[in-house]
Structure 1
Amino acid sequence: MTAQETTAPGVPDSAGLLALARAALQIEIDGLQAMAARLDGRFVQAVTTLLRCRGRVVVTGMGKSGHVGRKIAATLASTGTPAVFVHPAEASHGDLGMITPADAVLAISNSGESDELTAILPLIKRMGVPLVAMTGRVDSSLGRHADVILDTGVAREACPHNLAPTASTTAQLAMGDALAVALLSARGFQPDDFARSHPGGALGRRLLTLVRDVMRPLEATPRVPPSATLIETMRAMSAGGLGATAVVDEHGVAIGIFTDGDLRRLIERREGADLRSLRVGDVMHPQPRTVRPQMLAVEAAELMETHRITSVLVVDEAGRLVGALNHHDLMRAKVI
C-alpha cells in the first residue's frame, strides 16, 4: 500500500448501527422532554408578543439555526402568522431594511453568540422591534438583548463527539412548531384557512373544491320522466355515460334515480318476464340521495362512501335537478 492509499472506514455491524441510532434518538427525546418541562410564562409571553405583531415575524439565524429558521418561518406563514426569513449576514449588507417597526423578530442561535447575528441585535433594538430569542444559553449576548427568551438548551448533542448540531436543532424545530400551534389556536385558524394557503396541495383540493366545480352540468346529466319505458330509460343511461339516470317530474324536481345495478337486479328478479311494459317510475329508487352545488366535494364523496353508491344527483334548494356527480368525477379532480 502506498502512502497515498487509504483504507475504507470500518462499517459497524447491524446491531452497532441500530444501537447508535437508538442512542441518538434517545438523546433527542430526552432533550425535548427536558425543554417541555422548562416551559413557563416566557412561552406565553413570546406567543403574546408575536400575536400582537402588526407586521410580519422576521425569523433570523446563522448556519444550522438558519436552516431551522427558514422552516419555522414557512410553518408560521402557512398557519396564519405572516413570516419571512432574513439571513443575518445579508441583513448587515442592506437586508435589515426588510424589518419594519411593525414587525417582530424571532432570532435563533444555540450559542447566542453568532457574530453575524449579534452584530445586528443593537440595530434591531434601536428600531424598537420586539425581539424573541430562541437560544441554548439564556445568559448569552442574544439572551441579554432579547425581550423574551425561549430556552432551547440541551444537555448534549446526539453527535457522538457532542459537536454537530443535532439535538439542539431538533429542540429549535420543536419549539418553532410549538409556537406555530399556539399561534394558530389563538388566531382561530381553521382547516379551510390552511387550505387557502395551500391551494395546490391535496388538502387544498379537499377543502376548497365544491360540488359545482366537479359535477356534470344539467345538459350532460341523463334524465327521464317517471312515465318513460325501460327501453327509453336504458337509452338515456347509455347516452349519458353515468351508469344511472335521474327521474324528474314536470317541474324538473328529482323524484328518483335508476342505475345499471337496479336494471341487473330487476332482470334477475323477473327472469323471463317481458319488462317492456314497465315504467321507470314503478321501479326507480324514490327520494334519491342528493347534494347541493355549494357543498364540499369531499363531503359528497363521504356521503357516497357511506351509502355505497357511485353516483349522486345534484339539486338546488327547490329540489330541481341541476347536475350529477360520479365517483370518477371526484377521482379526476383528485378529491379522492
Structure 2
Amino acid sequence: MTAPPGRALLHLAAALDRRAPHDAVTPVQQAQLAERGALDFVTLGDTFARPGLDALAVLSRAAPVTGRIGLVPTVTTTHTEPFHVQAAVATLDWVSRGRAGWQIEVSRTEAEARLFGRGAPELPAHPGRTRPFPSVEALWREAGEVADVAARLWDSREDDTGTREGTTDRPARRNKVHQVDFEGATFSVKGPSTVPRPPQGHPVRVVDATGGPARRTAARYADVALVRVTGPAEACAVRAELRAAAAGFGRDPDDLRVLAGLGVDLGGGECAAEPGHGGGGPRLTARGPLYRGGPVGLAELITDWHRAGAADGFHLTPVEPRRDLERLVNATVPLLQHRGLFRTFYPGSTLREHLGLTRPANRYATAGGTS
C-alpha cells in the first residue's frame, strides 16, 4: 500500500491494558490482535506507584508469539540504573528481532522513592531534616541523560563484534569496542555495554510529550512523541513546536513522529459519534481527550485530522480493551485502508521500518573512535 500523492501514510498504535496486577496473558493476546490490524506498535504502561508485573518482561513474552508489531513497554528512568535499563531494552530488541521500543517515564513521588534504598533522594527522617524532592523538570533532564547514555552504550559495540568473536573464547576485536565515559548530573557510565548492538541499532524511544517538562526531552531524544490534544488545530501547533525544538537541538525534524493520544470508547453505535466527540475533536475528560461513538466515526475523525496535517498518526487507548481494540482492528482500520490512509501489510520487519525511520549509524564507528 502506497500513500496518496503528497501525503504520507498515517501511523497507528494502541495502548494495552492489564485489568489484574498479575495478568500477563491479556496483554499478549491484545498484541496479537493489534498485529492483525497491522498497527505500528503497542504500548504497555508501568509504574512504581502500584503493584503489577514488569511491562518489559510481559512484552518479552509477547515477542515469540508475534512477528511484526512493535513492542513498547514503559520503562521508568528514575531510581533505576541506566546501564541495566539499556541492557534490558536491547535484550527485548534481540528477542523480538528488531521490534522493541521503550516509553521513557519518570517517577514523581516520594512514596515511590521510598521503595528504593539506593538512588532515591534523602527523605525527611523527622521535622527539621528535609531535602526537597527533585522537581519534575530535574527528573525529565535525568531521563534525557538516560536516553542519551543508552544510545551511547548501544553504539559501544559495533555491529559485527557481539561480545565474543565467532565460537572461540577470544575477546571481541578491541578496536570495535568503545568506552562511553559518560558523566551526567546524577550518574556516570564508563561502558561498554555487555549486550551486542541491538538489531535496530537504537530501539525506538517514545516520550509522552503532553506536559511541558517532558516536551523538551521528547524534542531532543524521542523518535516518537505522544501528545494528548483535543483538536486538529492544537495538534498542528504542538507538532510544529516539537519539530522546531528538535531542529534547535540539531536534529532533522523529519526523524520525529508525533502521534495524537486519544481514548476511544467504541461501544456507542456503528457510525455516528456522540455530540461533542467527533467533528473537530474529541471531548476533554479527566483522563484526557476521549472519542465516544462508533468505528466509522472514529475513522472519519482520524481522516479529517490526517488531511489537516495535524499529526503523523494516533496512539489510541481503548476504554473497554477487548471490545474497543476488536472494533478498531476489524472496522476502523479497514476503512482507513480502503481510503488509502493506512497500510494493508507490514512492508518491513522492524519497528523503525514501520515508522519510516532509518537505522542510526554507530557514532563511534563513524568517528573512527577507539577504545
Q: In which range does the TM-score fall when normalised by the shorter chain?
A: under 0.3
Q: Name the structure, 1 or 2, with higher relative contact order (CA <8 Å, separation 6+).
A: 2
- Give the TM-score of the pair, scaled to structure 2: 0.18
Q: Which has the larger radius of gyration?
A: 1
Give the helix-richer structure, 1 or 2: 1
